[in-house]
Amino acid sequence: MNIVKRTLTPRIPAQKRRDVVENTEFAAFARRIIRAHGRRVATGDVEALRDLVSLSTAIDEAITAAVIGLRAFGYSWAEIGSRLGISRQAAQQRWGGDRP
């Protein structure tokens, strides 16, 4: 009869910072698309105005999801606030709410 002795392996904490993968270029691309959409509306496409405004809501939702994800990943309110040029308290008030 073989007895297997289990040993506990030390838990390696997840790294807080992930490798940046073309974030600057991707953000610039998204800005170009949004600006182009605005120019298209400005040339008389009034029907697309509602779609352009809805992008604002989508961006707010994406920012909220990003902040929640960063918090779950281990970033503090101070770290998030400093990246946004706001205080820790302002970041927590805006995105903390009743979320876990």
- Local confidence pLDDT in tens for the 100 residues of the chain: 555 555 555 444 456 666 667 788 999 999 999 999 999 999 999 999 999 999 999 999 999 999 999 999 999 999 999 999 999 999 999 999 755 4
Q: Could you give the CA distance from residue 67 to residue 3 in angstroms, rounded to a whole number?
A: 47
Residue 49 belongs to a domain: yes
Residue 82 belongs to a domain: yes
Residue 43 belongs to a domain: yes
The count of domains in the chain is: 1
Residue 91: CB atoms within 10 A of its CB come to 21
Range of the domain at 74: 25-95
68 touches 99 (CB < 8 A): yes
> What per-residue confidence (pLDDT) applies to 2?
54
Residue 61 belongs to a domain: yes
Token pair 């105005």: residue: 49
